[in-house]
Amino acid sequence: MKVIGLVAVNVFKESVRDKVLYSIVAFAVMLMSTTYLIGQLTAGQDIKIIKDLGLASISIFGLLIAIFIGIGLVWKEVEKRSIYTLLPKPMRRQEFLLGKYFGLVLTLVINIAVMTAAFYLVLALMRLLEPGIDAVSAAPATDAAMLKAIALVVVELMLVTAIALFFSTFSSPFLSALLTAGLWVAGHFNSDLRNFGAVVASPTLAQLTRAMYYVLPNFSAFDVKSQVVHAQAVPASYVALTCAYGLTYIALVLVGAAAIFARRDFK
Amino acid sequence: MRAAIAAMVLLGVAVVGLQALDDRARAALVPQEAAADLLYVQSPDVLTRASLSYTALVADLYWIRAVQYYGGMRLSNGEKKYDLLYPLLDLTTSLDPRFDIAYRFGAIFLAEDYPGGAGRPDLAIALLQKGLRAQPGKWQFAEDVGFVHYWWLHDPTTAADWFNRAGDMPGAAEWLKPLAAVTLAEGSNRESSRRLWREIGRTAEVEWFRRQADFRLKQLDAMDGIDVLERAVQMYRERAGAYPASWPDLIRAGLVRRIPADPTGLPFRLDASNGKVTLDPASSLNPLPAIEQAR
């Protein structure tokens, strides 16, 4: 456990050195400048659009970090040949891999936490400057329910990170990025696979697509951004169930990644 | 380092200059109107799927585009074409079916008489009914359908029916039922129009609706003013045997006290040949709606 923690902290420090946290600055600048612009461009829908934009940006910035850093976690150690000095140390390969994973998750969580704080700060400022703004939108400007959407974004990104790490244990960074992004996109069309059986004549094909529906990660389940912006109820039980699904899937992917990494020959 | 900065500044200026030249060259190749009228994705289903988990954000972008398109067309000096307005609003509301303001503002943009709007109350009603299918309890959409029937289609009977339907919905404003009764009893006249706009202005949650109500009330005041002035002109004609040549003739005759102005402050125009009083062409209240005075 201690080893995993040490590797994780090291990954976080490395991401700070690699200026990953600059994304927070980019997010804050973008949100502040957009807040001003949006007021000029839309017809009284500033709050809704700022919320949509803020939540989507948190998700997109996180996704880019998860994919592009996730795919390099193992590959960089191999490329720099530092893996040869790390593996003989009193540390199991699985611990090394999990340390890498939790390090990136730590980076992501800190990134998202700061972005969320900046997001709420912008909304609070808008509320302060335009006191009647809450009456115009479906939900209050600084609605705490948005944290549910952000929590699900965190779990979604943890899953993306796990998938990126999984592919990076046996594939090149380019291919890993392509496969992870492909799986993320396919995961959003998952519900179509479930209904595919209704439009195909072959029962085998229908069963196959239904099986794929359960095997592929269902990324669309993590998206409740629109619901929280429109003040629709998102039950805590749904959030808990989706988190449980995400964490179980992450465990599955990490076990697979660890199994592959344990057998990989670095000679 | 200095040389590098100087080179970057120089190259930056060159890039901006070349871009400006390229814009001019491109304008000759692609007419601006054709470029503005381009909607790459027309299918709401395709766009909803392609947006993955960012449908709300893409809806916002289409909404901004719809607002800019409408505003740009309305303010343009050339021929005003609103062909893309409904497809843009349809895409916006398909991407985010709970985007209330896109239905409500969109209906106003569509229903407004050409050239101030698309002059398509039928599409405005279609958009609002799409909103009602997405959110059957949204009484504001039913109220807006009634409003389009009343204000733009001059059909008080159907309008009253929709105001009634809106009034029956849970949480509806209490003034809808009385409004339905008045609309049905009085038909389409200025007094019931004034009552409708006062209620819209009083209960509006969005500033834009308040401004719109204020604007429409000013139009109705201007129409009342025109009626009063035309009566004064007729009285002058009965006394003098001819129409007044200008407002000072009416002032000297003691029929008006000063040069009359519309609610925006611009003087009314008097046509000496037929005694007709109109708004100054520069008045922002143009064109006045086709609502008749109750007799």
Six-digit token pair at B216? 């429409």
CB-CB neighbours of B205 under 10 Å: 14
* Chain A environment of B51 (Cβ under 8 Å): none
Would you call the peptide bond into B31 cis, given omega within 30 degrees of 0 as the criterion?
Answer: no
* Chain B environment of A55 (Cβ under 8 Å): 56
Whether A148 shows a pLDDT value over 90: the answer reads: yes
Taking the CA of residue B278 and the nearest CA in chain A, the distance in Å comes to 32
Instruction: Determine whether A144 is exposed, middle or buried from the number of CB atoms within 10 Å of its CB (0-12, 13-18, 19+).
Output: exposed
Taking the CA of residue B271 and the nearest CA in chain A, the distance in Å comes to 39
* Paired strand residues for B277: B270
Q: Are B156 and B188 in contact (CB under 8 A)?
A: yes
Sequence-separated (6 or more) residues with CB below 8 Å from residue B83: B37
Would you call the peptide bond into B267 cis, given omega within 30 degrees of 0 as the criterion?
Answer: no
Q: What is the pLDDT at residue A177? A: 93
Over residues A4-27, mean pLDDT:
82
Write the residue in A53, A188, A222 that is nearest to B57 by C-beta. Answer: A53
Most confident of A128-132, B9-13, B144-148: B144-148
Q: Are A53 and A123 in contact (CB under 8 A)?
A: no
Domain assignment present for residue B68? The answer is yes
Domain count, chain B: 1
Whether B29 shows a pLDDT value over 90: the answer reads: no
Over residues B173-200, mean pLDDT:
80
Q: Are B196 and B179 in contact (CB under 8 A)?
A: yes
Is the CB of A189 less than 8 angstroms away from the CB of B68? no
Sequence-separated (6 or more) residues with CB below 8 Å from residue B37: B81, B83, B84
A174: nearest Cα among A161, A164, A163, A186? A164
Is the CB of B57 less than 8 angstroms away from the CB of A230? no
Question: How far is it, in rounded angstroms, from Cα B287 to Cα B294?
Answer: 20
Helix (H) / strand (E) containing B173: none
Domain assignment present for residue B262? The answer is no
Domain assignment present for residue B115? The answer is yes
Question: How far is it, in rounded angstroms, from Cα A114 to Cα A96?
Answer: 27
Over residues A241-248, mean pLDDT:
94
Domain assignment present for residue B130? The answer is yes
Tokens 């709050």, located at residue: A47
B98: nearest Cα among B144, B140, B147? B140
Q: What is the pLDDT at residue B294? A: 44
* Max CA distance (Å), chain B: 89
Write the residue in B53, B68, B101 that is nearest to A220 by C-beta. Answer: B53
Six-digit token pair at B186? 């009085």
Q: What is the ipTM of this complex?
A: 0.75
B293: nearest Cα among B230, B213, B220? B220
Question: How far is it, in rounded angstroms, from Cα B267 to Cα B280?
Answer: 7
Tokens 């609003």, located at residue: B89
Dihedral angle over CA of B65, B67, B72, B75, nearest 10 = 180
Chain B: which residues have CB within 8 Å of chain A?
49, 52-57, 59-60, 63-64, 67-68, 96, 98-101, 105, 205-208
A109: nearest Cα among A53, A143, A58, A54? A58
Q: What is the pLDDT at residue B30? A: 60
Domain assignment present for residue B98? The answer is yes
- Mean pLDDT (chain B) is 86
Higher pLDDT, A65 or B33: A65
Write the residue in A59, A135, A189 that is nearest to B205 by C-beta. Answer: A135
- Mean pLDDT (chain A) is 86
Question: How far is it, in rounded angstroms, from Cα B98 to Cα A138?
Answer: 10
pTM of the predicted model as reported, rounded to 2 decimal places: 0.74
* Chain B environment of A219 (Cβ under 8 Å): 53
Is the CB of A52 less than 8 angstroms away from the CB of B207? no
Of the pLDDT bands very low, low, confident and very high (cuts 50, 70, 90), residue A131 is confident
Instruction: Determine whether B99 is exposed, middle or buried from the number of CB atoms within 10 Å of its CB (0-12, 13-18, 19+).
Output: buried
Q: Are B124 and B103 in contact (CB under 8 A)?
A: no
Is the CB of A53 less than 8 angstroms away from the CB of B60? yes
Q: What is the pLDDT at residue B31? A: 56
Q: What is the pLDDT at residue B188? A: 67
In this predicted model, what pLDDT tens digit does every residue of B40-82 receive, in sequence order?
Answer: 777 888 888 888 889 998 999 899 889 888 988 888 877 788 9
- Provide the residue type at A188 as one letter: H
Six-digit token pair at A155? 């779990």
Q: Which of B45, B57, B63, B92 would best serve as a mutation to test chain A binding (most A beta carbons within 10 A)?
A: B57
Q: In terms of CA atoms, which chain B residue is nearest residue A229?
A: B56
Helix (H) / strand (E) containing B59: helix B55-75
Q: What is the pLDDT at residue B141? A: 95
Higher pLDDT, A170 or B295: A170
Q: What is the pLDDT at residue A108? A: 92
Taking the CA of residue B243 and the nearest CA in chain A, the distance in Å comes to 46
Q: Are B233 and B244 in contact (CB under 8 A)?
A: yes
Write the residue in A44, A49, A60 that is nearest to B60 by C-beta. Answer: A49
Question: How far is it, in rounded angstroms, from Cα B212 to Cα B206?
Answer: 10
Q: What is the pLDDT at residue A43? A: 63
* Chain A environment of B54 (Cβ under 8 Å): 56, 59-60
Q: What is the pLDDT at residue B122? A: 95
What sign results for the dihedral spanned by CA atoms B280, B284, B289, B295?
negative
Average the pLDDT over each of A45-59, B31-45, B242-256 and give the range with the smallest value: B31-45
Q: What is the pLDDT at residue B85? A: 92
Over residues A60-66, mean pLDDT:
90
* Chain A environment of B138 (Cβ under 8 Å): none
Is the CB of A59 less than 8 angstroms away from the CB of B55? no
Higher pLDDT, A19 or B46: B46
Is the CB of B206 less than 8 angstroms away from the CB of A44? yes
Q: In terms of CA atoms, which chain B residue is nearest residue A41?
A: B64
Domain assignment present for residue B224? The answer is no
Q: Are A264 and A168 in contact (CB under 8 A)?
A: no
Most confident of A210-224, B59-73, B128-142: B128-142
Question: How far is it, in rounded angstroms, from Cα A197 to Cα A205?
Answer: 7
Higher pLDDT, A238 or A138: A238
Domain range for B44 is 39-135
* Chain B environment of A43 (Cβ under 8 Å): 67, 101, 105, 206, 208
Is the CB of A226 less than 8 angstroms away from the CB of B56? yes
What are the phi and psi torsion angles at A96 (to 5°)? Answer: -60, -45
Taking the CA of residue B6 and the nearest CA in chain A, the distance in Å comes to 27
Question: How far is it, in rounded angstroms, from Cα A266 to Cα B22?
Answer: 53
Average the pLDDT over each of A30-39, A253-262, B33-42, B244-253 and give the range with the smallest value: B33-42
Is the CB of B98 less than 8 angstroms away from the CB of A138? yes
Question: How far is it, in rounded angstroms, from Cα B86 to Cα B106?
Answer: 8
Q: What is the pLDDT at residue B107? A: 95
Q: What is the pLDDT at residue B295? A: 39
Of the pLDDT bands very low, low, confident and very high (cuts 50, 70, 90), residue A63 is very high
B88: nearest Cα among B80, B78, B99, B77? B99
Helix (H) / strand (E) containing A37: helix A22-41
A-B interface: how many C-beta pairs under 8 angstroms?
Answer: 60
Q: In terms of CA atoms, which chain A residue is nearest residue B46?
A: A189
What is the separation, in whole angstroms, between the first and last Cα of chain B? 83
Domain assignment present for residue B51? The answer is yes
Q: What is the pLDDT at residue B201? A: 83
In degrees, to the nearest 5, what angle opens at C-alpha A235 toward C-alphas A214 and A27?
85
* Paired strand residues for B261: B267
Over residues A190-216, mean pLDDT:
80
Is the CB of B67 less than 8 angstroms away from the CB of A53? no
* Chain B environment of A138 (Cβ under 8 Å): 98, 100
Tokens 């396919």, located at residue: A186
Whether B33 shows a pLDDT value over 60: the answer reads: no
